[in-house]
Structure 1
Amino acid sequence: MNSDRVRRIDVELGSRRYPIRIGAGLLADDDWPALIRGRHVLVLSDANVAPLYLARVQARLTGRVVAVRVLPAGEREKTLARFTEALSDLAALKASRDATVIALGGGVIGDLSGFVAACWMRGIAFVQLPTTLLAMVDSSVGGKTAVDLPEGKNLVGAFHQPAAVIADTDTLATLPERELCAGLAEVVKYGALGDAGFFAWLEEHAEALLARDTAALGEAIERSCRHKAAIVARDETERGERALLNLGHSFGHALETADAYGGLLHGEAVAIGMVLAARLSARLGLAPAQDGARLASLLARLRLPTALPAGSDPARLLNLMRLDKKNLSGRLRLILWHGLGHAVIVPDVDEAAVLGTLEAAASDSARRAG
């Protein structure tokens, strides 16, 4: 393998560390199988990804006892029922504490695989092989694992860091355009929350990213991962600063839950959520409205939604936001901003202001639909 084309980042957590490797052809050529200590391996994937890449991964696992579970694709599969099935697979393998779970797919597979690994025998290793842009830049890094409930997203989970993240950028060639754009929402998030210079770079390279320019995508993935790795190193279990990575997510998760995880992709919901967070920030006098307009403009250029879906119920969305994991003592705690590159944690946010923002956005959507 030509090491010159591999971008390398180490996530450092005190005495622990793990590598993120970003580059073309890594599923077949990287030495990630050397990270697997024991004989037993469970590979989790989905019906979209497995036909394309599962054989390539299995070919690297010779000499080991391997089980495979291929799930239907989609957020609706990130459930306790699927979690239980994967645990049963490990039991059937007679997997010991040196077993490894491999997540081959996007964020759903990564979140589920990590939670399975966190719980089997109180914690075994897992390796992230992300195949979507969103997973490469966000969900595969940092050790958040979870499944959804009908009442809300990611409500059951654990912090459990991967042994490695191997991002083979060749897999982005087969990614549907909608999924690519959804991943770009999380890339924009890093500029919006803490790096105005990166945000400007994204404005300059939006068309190259949409065209899947190899250099532009590699740069965007690396810079996003470096931002997240630095924050995770300082606040692994989200006691403070790490919450900033949830810019747009309180609104976005409510939108996903309201639609029973069947409509908006996660990145699409986050895009809308960031716009709503920016509007709420302006309403509260925290940030200039023109920065929110600039954010909405970039997201629209990246073919992402910026308006509430038609028919959204503001009161229901607010009620769903009350179950968000960032809240404390039953009061809304949101990630807002002072403008581009300056996200802040705001405790005890006025619910009337949140509802007003949602109602104004719903009215805008109704006018467009009419």
Structure 2
Amino acid sequence: MTSADQYIDYPTLLSPTFSPTTFSSTLISQTNHPHEPLDLTTPLSRVLFDLQEIDTTLHTLTTTSSALLLTHTATTTRASSTLLAAVTAQTAMLNTAYERLRREVIDRGDRAEEVVRVVQNLHATTRVLREISRGVVLARQVERQVADLEGGEWSAMVRCCFSLLELGRLLEQGDALMEVDLARSLNERVYQPTRSNIVSRAKEIITTFSLLTQDTPTPSSTSTTSTTSTPTPSAIFTTLSSASPALRQKLSSTLQSLSLLSPSDLHTSIRTLLQTHITASTTLLTRALTSLTTLDRALAEVSLRSLSVAAVEGYLDGVGLAQAVLARLDMRRLTTGFWRGVAAGWEPRVKDVVVRGGAGARILKAGKERVREGVRACVLRGMGMEGGGEEGEGGFEVAVMVGALGSLGR
């Protein structure tokens, strides 16, 4: 190693962490006194000298080793050329393979994707058309069933409800179907109006049902009923069915239809029917309190209203809806609810007549046994127990109604 080699700090200059800023700062600090003015001549001269020495060293080394460097360079160049030729050949092969794959796979794949999209669109279109066709068939079916219903075939109402339910499920499958004008037309001109019409018609039939307006024998006059127990709803249903098939078909179909299209409206309609008969019966019995000559007629009509309620319960049981409806209305039987409602409304009216006094109160008290017997017979007739005792279910209703006369005394 020469003196120049010893003079130049190669380890510092070749260090990976070499910093020109740090090196310059150190050099200035070494060539200047802290209490003297800053002088950059000396550090600059040293740096220039180092550069000159390094340049001279490089020139000497390259000159003396030129043959070796040229040989090494030539060898490296040949090796690079050989490697480049091999890489170029492989690249050409890859390009050729890629072009073949592009033609056979990528281009075909692109065309296949287009075909798939077309097929998917056709499938979606076919599905919509198939659903529209099904909707048209259902709509025509609904129209025929409505025509049958208008012709008096009440069983067509239930069939129409099933068709409407299927049509409704079809129209509610998705927005794509409703984008078709025909589907919207089926919804607006067939499904919605027909459904609303049937629901409204069924509600009206149920809420206004009464044997007073039916040309139908009552269970008491068409069958021999046990005198010691209350007939079940099914028994009343069977009796009324044999007495009037048209009435059975009408009310049964109406109850089934409303339960299919709107169960909540069925419960509301039954409650309304019950309240209507309770209110009418309470009014009749209240009027009869001041004129006992009309009591028998009033009691006969009240018993018929009770049979109307029993008939509805029987039809509900006949079509398998009684249990669900009674559970929703929180009642054991509709007739029980009827007589409890009548008793609750009549009791304060009886008490009011007694409290006011006068001839009406005296006549009522004088005939209290007749009134009690009439009420007892009315309840039994209304429960389908013509001429019978008070055992079984009927005993509770008789006790409730007779108890409403408690203000008359014993």
Q: Which structure dedicates a bigger proportion of its chain to strand?
A: 1
TM-score by length of 1: 0.26
Rg comparison, structure with higher value: 2
Structure with bigger helix share is 2
